[in-house]
Amino acid sequence: MSILIKNGRVIDPKNNIDDILDILVVDGKITELNKNLDSKKAKQIIDASKKIVIPGIIDLQLNLREPGNQYKSTLESEMKAANAGGVTGMVCPPDTTPILDEPGLVKMLKNKSEALKLGNVYPLGALTQKLNGKLLTEINDLYESGCIGFSQAEKPIQDTEVLYRSFQYLSTFNLKAFLRAEDAYLSEKGIINAGEISTRLGLKGIQSISETTAINKILEIAHLTKTKIHLNKISTADGLNLIKIAKKNGVNVTCDVSIHQIFLTDNDIGFFNTNCFLKPPLRRESDRMKIIDSIIDGTIDAICSDHSPVNEDNKLKPFAESEYGASSVELLMPLVYKLSEDYKIEDLGLLINKITNQPSSILEINKGSLSVNSDADICIFNPEHSWEIKSKTLISEGKNTPFLNQNFTGKVSSTFFNGNIVFIGT
């Protein structure tokens, strides 16, 4: 198969490209990238005029729900949803059923995802057995079975000695921890951000100190043990300040932010909108603005979807009894583009970098670029496509999102994985 993508605005941050170019794909690889390539070189021509062509997106937080939670969604349905969002690289946390704490489970997930040929799945192995925060898993065996890093998902390790020993082990083998910073005692039974909204709704709040206390502990131990750390879904201004200082002091730390935290605050919960029940909770407007500033200044390394499909019944329950999560992978690129438009960020490549090249660097893989001879993982985005977010328009089996019934401008028009077209939009 040979495909020529013509006249697109090609944005490839790794190679400092932002220009109108053609891309030739042959046998799953990018073979040429230049102006006015000969159309006779390809069997199929795709006109990308007025469209944006970027590397396939790498999402650092995408719950695929398998194994074990097929009543919420299936691996195939969520990988197809990812493709609809231009995503070809998917990092999935270990809190499946059963938990990804045994090599056989990881191999099964890898084999099933590879057979679908819809993208690369990068599992995170459980750092402790059953995510109980007590006994370490067979970390090296999990790594050799295909885990790209190690995580506790939404279950932080509270025993500092266990955390210290896990970091020592990871450092010995030059492996990376992917952690969400939360102190379980300080956030226990908390539902939303602590403040005026939680008081008005009568819901138990989670103070920002829950995040900053955990960040301090993680960074101190990481600095001492020289462990590579990636912090998922940072939500507070104070937490970002701590990370910025740690980076200056030489701690090997990177971090990402959920797309929800960029656009939403606890005010959006309104009168118990369960689509806004998320982890971490939506914070204050001052936190949101600090997040945007930190994306621009480089403190935040990546933007993730935090795609967590939930079945409808669990979202129809009273807020405190409902299940947290939202379907968002299909909205990641449209929202990144909206961010550039709403806040007049002229360098779109700076934002594209946060969902392509920099996630690739965090994972230490050779992806996230349109380099010649690289795998042809490509997203074509139409910035002029207007559409309304409706449950029926989402490919994900989870139909809940805080952005329901909103009008968007910008939509993925096609996605390539290894040179094959895995998504074509309407």
Among the listed residues 142, 136, 98, 137, the one whose alpha carbon sits nearest the alpha carbon of residue 123:
142
Q: Quote the crossing angle between the two packed helices 209-225 and 160-172, to the nearest 10°.
A: 40
Which amino acid is residue 161, in one-letter code? E
Residue 402 preceded by cis peptide, ω within 30: no
CB burial string 62-87: b at 16+ within 10 A, e below = bbbbbbebeebbbbbbbbbbbbbbbb
Plot region of 209 (φ>0 → left; ψ -120 to 50 → alpha; else → beta): alpha
Give me the phi and psi of 161, to 5 degrees please.
Answer: -65, -40
Q: Is 306 designated active site?
A: yes
Which residue stretches of 68-181 are H helix?
Answer: 75-84, 103-116, 139-145, 160-172
Q: Tokens standing for 77? A: 């349905």
181/169 Cα distance (integer angstroms): 20
3-state secondary structure 273-327: CHHHCCCCCCCCHHHHHHHHHHHHHCCCCEEECCECCCCHHHHCCCHHHCCCCCC
Decide: helix, strand or coil at residue 158.
Answer: coil
Identify how many contiguous H helices and E strands the chain contains and give both numbers: 13, 18
The strand pair at 302-304 and 253-258 is best described as parallel
210/7 Cα distance (integer angstroms): 49
64/317 Cα distance (integer angstroms): 23
Q: Which of 306, 313, 342, 347 is catalytic?
A: 306
CB burial string 193-210: b at 16+ within 10 A, e below = bbbebbeebebebbbbbb
Q: Quote the crossing angle between the two packed helices 103-116 and 75-84, to the nearest 10°.
A: 50
Q: Which residues are catalytic?
A: 306
